[in-house]
Chain A
Amino acid sequence: MNAEIARLYETLKLVVGFIYPNEIELHWNLLIVIYPYITGLVAGAFILASLVKVFKVKEVQATYRLALLTALSFLIVAPLPLVAHLGHPERGFEMFMTPSPSSAMAMFGFVYVWYLMAVLLLEIWFDYRKDFMVLAEQEKGYKRLVYKVLSLFTKDNSPAALSFDKKAVYAITVVGIPSAFLLHGYVGFIFGSIKANPWWSSVLMPIVFLFSAIVSGIALVLLIYMVAVLVRGEEPDMACIDKLASFLFYMMIVDFSLEFLDFVHRIYQSEESIQILGQMISERLFTSLIVIQLILGMIIPLVAIALVKMFKWPAEIRRLSYFIVALLVQFGIFSTRWNVVIGGQLFSKSFRGLTAYKMAVGGVEGLLVSLGFLVLPFVILYVLIRWLPPWEKEHAPSVPNR
Chain B
Amino acid sequence: MKRDRPGKGLDTSRREFCKTILLGTMSLAVPGSILAATEKKGLSDWYGTKYEPAKHLYAMGIKVDRCIGCGRCVDACKKENNVPDYPFFFRTWVERYIETEDGQTIVDSPNGGKDGFKTLPSDKKVFKTFFVPKICNQCEKPPCVQVCPVGATYRTEDGVVLVDSQYCIGCRYCIQACPYGMRFIRPETKTAEKCTFCYHRIVKGLLPACVEACPTQARVFGDLKSKASPIIQFMRFNKTFVLKPGLNTEPKVYYADIDREVR
A25 near B178 with CB under 8 A, answer: no
**Cα–Cα distance between A8 and B184 once the two chains are bound (Å):** 13
A2 near B187 with CB under 8 A, answer: yes
A99 contacts across to B, CB distance below 8 A: 149-150
Q: Which of A12, A94, A196, A348 contacts B178 (CB 8 A)?
A: A196
A352 contacts across to B, CB distance below 8 A: 107, 263
Q: Which of A22, A28, A91, A345 contacts B169 (CB 8 A)?
A: A91
Q: A27 an interface residue at 8 Å Cβ cutoff? A: yes
Q: Which chain B residue lies CB-closest to A82?
A: B171
On chain A, the number of residues with a Cβ less than 8 Å from chain B's Cβ atoms is 45
Q: Which of B86, B150, B178 contacts A8 (CB 8 A)?
A: B86
Secondary structure at the B interface, as helix, strand, loop or mixed, is: loop
Within 8 A of A (CB), among B145-173: 145-151, 167-173
Q: B143 an interface residue at 8 Å Cβ cutoff? A: yes
A21-B88, A87-B168, A87-B169 in contact; A95/B184 too (CB < 8 A)?
no
Binary flags per residue of A79-114, CB closer than 8 Å to B gives 1, else 0:
000000111100110110011101111101000000
B181 contacts across to A, CB distance below 8 A: 19-23, 348-350
B111 contacts across to A, CB distance below 8 A: 21
Binary flags per residue of B183-198, CB closer than 8 Å to A gives 1, else 0:
1110101110000000
B172 contacts across to A, CB distance below 8 A: 27-28, 87
Q: A321 an interface residue at 8 Å Cβ cutoff? A: no
A27-B172, A99-B149 in contact; A196/B184 too (CB < 8 A)?
no
**B141–chain A nearest beta-carbon distance, Å:** 11
A94 near B176 with CB under 8 A, answer: no
Q: Which chain B residue lies CB-closest to A5?
A: B86
B90 near A22 with CB under 8 A, answer: yes
A94 contacts across to B, CB distance below 8 A: 150, 167, 169
Q: Which chain B residue lies CB-closest to A197?
A: B176
Q: B247 an interface residue at 8 Å Cβ cutoff? A: yes
Binary flags per residue of B98-109, CB closer than 8 Å to A gives 1, else 0:
000000001111
**Cα–Cα distance between A94 and B170 once the two chains are bound (Å):** 12
Q: B177 an interface residue at 8 Å Cβ cutoff? A: yes
B86 near A98 with CB under 8 A, answer: no
Q: B182 an interface residue at 8 Å Cβ cutoff? A: yes
B191 near A21 with CB under 8 A, answer: no
**B97–chain A nearest beta-carbon distance, Å:** 9
Q: Which chain B residue lies CB-closest to A19?
A: B181
A215 contacts across to B, CB distance below 8 A: none
**A279–chain B nearest beta-carbon distance, Å:** 15
**Cα–Cα distance between A195 and B107 once the two chains are bound (Å):** 24
B247 near A25 with CB under 8 A, answer: no
A25 contacts across to B, CB distance below 8 A: 88, 184-185
Q: A194 an interface residue at 8 Å Cβ cutoff? A: yes
Of residues B168, B171, B178, which shows the largest number of chain A Cβ atoms within 10 Å of its Cβ?
A: B171
Q: A24 an interface residue at 8 Å Cβ cutoff? A: yes
**B129–chain A nearest beta-carbon distance, Å:** 14
30 sample A-B contacts, Cβ–Cβ < 8 Å, listed by A number = A5-B88, A8-B88, A17-B107, A18-B95, A20-B93, A21-B87, A21-B93, A22-B90, A25-B184, A28-B176, A85-B171, A86-B171, A91-B150, A91-B167, A91-B168, A94-B150, A94-B167, A95-B150, A100-B151, A105-B147, A194-B177, A195-B143, A196-B178, A345-B176, A349-B181, A349-B263, A350-B107, A350-B263, A351-B263, A352-B107
Chain B contacts to A: CB under 8 angstroms: 86-90, 93, 95, 106-109, 111-112, 134, 143, 145-151, 167-173, 175-185, 187, 189-191, 247, 263
Chain A contacts to B: CB under 8 angstroms: 2, 4-5, 8, 12, 17-25, 27-28, 85-88, 91-92, 94-95, 98-100, 102-106, 108, 190, 194-197, 344-345, 348-352
